[in-house]
Structure 1
Amino acid sequence: MYTGNRRLNVFYTVANTNSFTRAAKILHMTQPAVSSQIQRFEEYYGMRLFHRNHDGVVLTDTGRMAYSYAERVVRLLNELDYKLRRIDDDNRHLRLGATSDTIIFFVKAFLNGFITNNPNVKVRMNIYDDEKIFFKLGDQSIDLAVTMKIKNNRNISVERSWQIPLSVIIPRDHPLEKRECITVDQLLGYPIVCRGSAEDAFSIIASHVEENFNRNALDIIDNLGSLETVTAAVQAGMGIGIIPEIEGKGLQQNPELTVRRIDPPIMLGYHLIRDTRYSRHESVHALLKHVDCNFTA
Structure 2
Amino acid sequence: MADRRLQVFHAVARHGSFTRAAETLYMTQPAVTFQIKQLEEQFNTRLLDRGHGRVTLTPAGEIVFAYAERILGLSDEMETRIAELTDELTGVLTIGTSQTIAGYWLPMLLDAFIKKHPRVVPRVFVANSENIENRVAAHELDVGLVEKQSDDPTLECTLACQDELKVIVRQGHELASATSLKATDLQGFPFVDRDPGAAIRALAEDFFRRNGVAPETLNRRGELGSLPSILHLVKQGFGFAIVANAALNDYNNRGLVGISLEPRLFSSLNVLVPKDRFRARLHSTFAEFAVNMFSNMQVKPQAPAEVTGLTQSGVADS
Determine if the alignment matches structure 1 residue 240 to structure 2 residue 240: yes
- Unpaired segments of 5 or more residues in structure 1? none
Show the 5 A alignment for 1:104-183.
104=103, 106-107=105-106, 111=109, 115=112, 120-122=116-118, 125-130=122-127, 134=135, 144-148=143-147, 154=154, 156-160=155-159, 164-183=163-182
* Preserved contact between residue 187 and residue 219 of structure 2 (Cα < 8 Å): yes
Paired letter, 1:197: D
Determine if the alignment matches structure 1 residue 271 to structure 2 residue 270: yes
* Preserved contact between residue 97 and residue 132 of structure 2 (Cα < 8 Å): no
Q: 1:272 offset after TM fit, Å? A: 0.8
User: What's the counterpart of residue 5 of structure 1?
Assistant: 3
User: What's the counterpart of residue 39 of structure 2?
Assistant: 41
Q: 1:33 offset after TM fit, Å? A: 4.1
Deviations 1:247-267 (A, max 9, x none): 33447993x321112234455
TM-score (norm 2): 0.66
- Aligned residues with identical type, % of pairs: 21
The 1:293/1:270 distance shift into structure 2, 3 A limit, reads: closer
User: What's the counterpart of residue 231 of structure 1?
Assistant: 231
SS at 1:14 equivalent: helix
Show the 5 A alignment for 1:22-61.
22-42=20-40, 44-45=42-43, 49-50=47-48, 52=50, 54=52, 56-59=54-57
CA distance in 2, matches of 1:61, 1:185: 60
Q: 1:209 offset after TM fit, Å? A: 3.7
User: What's the counterpart of residue 76 of structure 1?
Assistant: 74
Q: 1:85 offset after TM fit, Å? A: 6.3
Paired letter, 1:26: T
RMSD: 4.5
- Unpaired segments of 5 or more residues in structure 2? 301-318
* Preserved contact between residue 197 and residue 222 of structure 1 (Cα < 8 Å): yes
Paired letter, 1:236: Q
CA distance in 1, matches of 2:67, 2:47: 13
* Preserved contact between residue 98 and residue 125 of structure 1 (Cα < 8 Å): no
TM-score (norm 1): 0.70
Among 87, 90, 104, the alignment partner of 2:88 is 90
Deviations 1:146-192 (A, max 9, x none): 134759684x5334465544211111221112322223343343333
The 1:129/1:191 distance shift into structure 2, 3 A limit, reads: same
CA distance in 1, matches of 2:158, 2:132: 19
